A and B are shown apart, each in its own frame.
Chain A
């Protein structure tokens, strides 16, 4: 893992595609009622990708999203979207924000709730139809939002985000409270967005974060602890799990986690050699997988 004390701006990649859009924070301190939650945040993103924002509870993830969305005014520093200060409305019209709460007004049916936001954004009924199809919420349209399950509520809330296409998406825990199937669908939609757009995505699920994130921005105590490529992260120790038959005699002394025999290696390069040795000893290997998530080290 790279040193985590400094702010790292991903750059210098010759293959990096630029979206033409840019989020830039310089020395941003932000919070609530003079209580600072974020301290001296500086980073820039301009490559279309998913930037996973991680951090323990209270690290400042939601505050960062609210500051980026122009909801909170920074105590100091600047937030710019495409070179325009976030205080200007034209900067805000370039991004879409999904809060960790639903934000659906009381007393409305799903259709009315979507229409409410369609009116605010000034989009047509056609766009409402499009997001209803996209999120598969046709059967929920006539129901009161308050009567829906947590997962259904989340789906409607996410539909709101896609009423109008934007180039920058700030998604604060979009898959919380969702079942695995719907989480997958949401991740697929977000992955689709990331081909052309900038997506900042917060999650408490490290496996999800590792799966979809190209970059990771880890917050710790209101400061940027790490900002860099996901692929550059290496776990402090490299542990693989081997699911195999006929391994009792060979790997019997290894620690076992479920069906997996754990093996600590110095790095991925040693895996082929170990596999060859085991196969030579008659072990029938069914699966080999990494057991440590390097993102876990960002929290220690």
Chain B
């Protein structure tokens, strides 16, 4: 009997993604802890100030995407490791397309970002409640129009950039590798958007941030489409 491999919608299709996410959680666990830990630290510092209510509501939502982006590095690390270790070579031989490998990497990254975001919001907002800070409508607007979209957009941008870069370069590890540098590049759009939004009128602030998140996601999509056309399968193989 010939079973249907994962990429043909066989029984392995969902479990390959599930396994990738699970492995990403394992490989990137330190980054997740750092992401959540730093956001918790930030919330405690903000809540310790004398004007905790105002400071927390305006600053906390703006900083979270940085932690959610950096903390989601595990997705890129898993992709980079699988390429170097020859895992992709086998998966492509089983009929799984490079595009699926890319998409799996992105979904894993988004999952990590979502986990960090959810945990950070839970502990941050929980700490605010314990401190007696009122959760204002402005806070939720900021979370909805900036924090959540920018967290996913930043993490996906970082991951896409890193995956393409690591596929195009000789495999290497450490801080000098794509997996080491891409997270720093990944938070750049988040910071640039913050700077641009700060210089705009207050009424347009969230239009700019939400619009920027959409633009970044569109850039991710464009990079993916370009990579599918420009990168041959050999880019996913370990060196001879």
Interface residues of A (CB under 8 A from B): 32-33, 62-63, 66, 69-73, 89, 92-94, 97, 99, 101-108, 116-117, 119-123, 160, 164, 166
Given contacts A103-B90, A116-B19, contact A89 B95 (CB under 8 A): yes
A106 to B86, CA, bound (A): 11
In the complex, B16 has a CB within 8 A of chain A: yes
Contact B89 A103 (CB under 8 A): yes
B227 within 8 A of A: no
Q: Judge if B85 is at the interface, Cβ distance under 8 Å.
A: yes
Given contacts A70-B93, A72-B233, A122-B11, contact A103 B87 (CB under 8 A): yes
Contacts of A89 in B (CB 8 A): 5, 7-8, 95
Q: In the complex, what residues of A have CB within 8 A of residue B90's CB? A: 97, 99, 103, 117, 120, 160
In the complex, A97 Cα to B234 Cα: how many Å? 16
7 A–B contact pairs at CB < 8 A? Answer: A71-B89, A93-B3, A93-B5, A101-B89, A102-B86, A105-B87, A119-B16
Chain A CB within 8 A of B59 CB:
no
Q: Which residues of B contact A (CB under 8 A)?
A: 2-8, 10-12, 15-16, 19, 23, 26-27, 78, 81-82, 85-87, 89-96, 232-234, 237-238, 240
Q: Which partner residue on chain B sits nearest A98 by CB separation?
A: B90
Contact B3 A164 (CB under 8 A): yes
Residues of A near B15 (CB, < 8 A) are 119
CB-CB under 8 A from B96, the residues of chain A are: 120
Report B236 CB to chain A, min CB distance, Å.
9
Q: In the complex, what residues of B have CB within 8 A of residue A122's CB? A: 3-6, 10-12
The number of A-B residue pairs with CB atoms under 8 Å apart is 100
Query: Which of A63, A93, A166 gathers most chain B CB within 10 Å?
Result: A93
Chain B positions within 8 Å of A117 at CB level: 90
| A33 and B86 contact, CB distance less than 8 A | no
Are B78 and A106 neighbours in the complex by a CB distance under 8 Å?
Answer: yes
Separation of A164 and B11 alpha carbons in the complex (Å): 14
> Which A residues touch B82, using CB under 8 A?
105-106
Contact B87 A104 (CB under 8 A): yes
In angstroms, Cα B6 to Cα A119, docked, is: 8
**What is the distance, in angstroms, from A12's C-beta to the closest C-beta of chain B?**
32
Determine the main DSSP class of A at the interface with B.
loop
Q: Which of A72, A101, A121, A123 sits near B86, CB closer than 8 Å?
A: A101
With a cutoff of 8 Å between Cβ atoms, the chain B residues found around residue A69 in the complex are: 93
B23–A71 CB distance below 8 A: no
Extra pairs beyond A105-B23, A119-B6 (15, CB < 8 Å): A62-B240, A70-B95, A71-B233, A92-B5, A93-B2, A102-B86, A103-B85, A103-B87, A105-B85, A105-B87, A106-B81, A119-B15, A120-B6, A121-B3, A122-B3
The answer to whether A32 touches B85, judged by C-beta atoms less than 8 angstroms apart, is no
Q: How far is the CA of A87 from the CA of B23 in the complex (A)?
A: 30
- Which residues in B have their C-beta under 8 angstroms from that of A92? 5, 93-95
B4: chain A residues at CB < 8 Å are 93, 122
Q: In the complex, are the beta carbons of B237 and A119 less than 8 A apart?
A: no
How distant is the Cα of A190 from the Cα of B166 in the complex, in angstroms? 36
A33-B234, A89-B95 as given contacts; A99 in contact with B7, CB under 8 Å: no
A69 to B92, CA, bound (A): 9
Enumerate chain B residues within 8 angstroms of A123, measured Cβ to Cβ. 3
Kindly list chain A residues whose C-beta atoms are within 8 Å of the C-beta of B93.
69-71, 92, 97
Minimum C-beta distance from B7 to chain A (A): 7
Point out the residues of chain B lying under 8 angstroms from A119, CB to CB: 6, 11-12, 15-16, 19
Closest 10 CB pairs of A and B: A101-B86, A122-B3, A119-B15, A103-B86, A89-B95, A122-B11, A122-B10, A69-B93, A103-B90, A119-B12
A104 touches B89 (CB 8 A): no
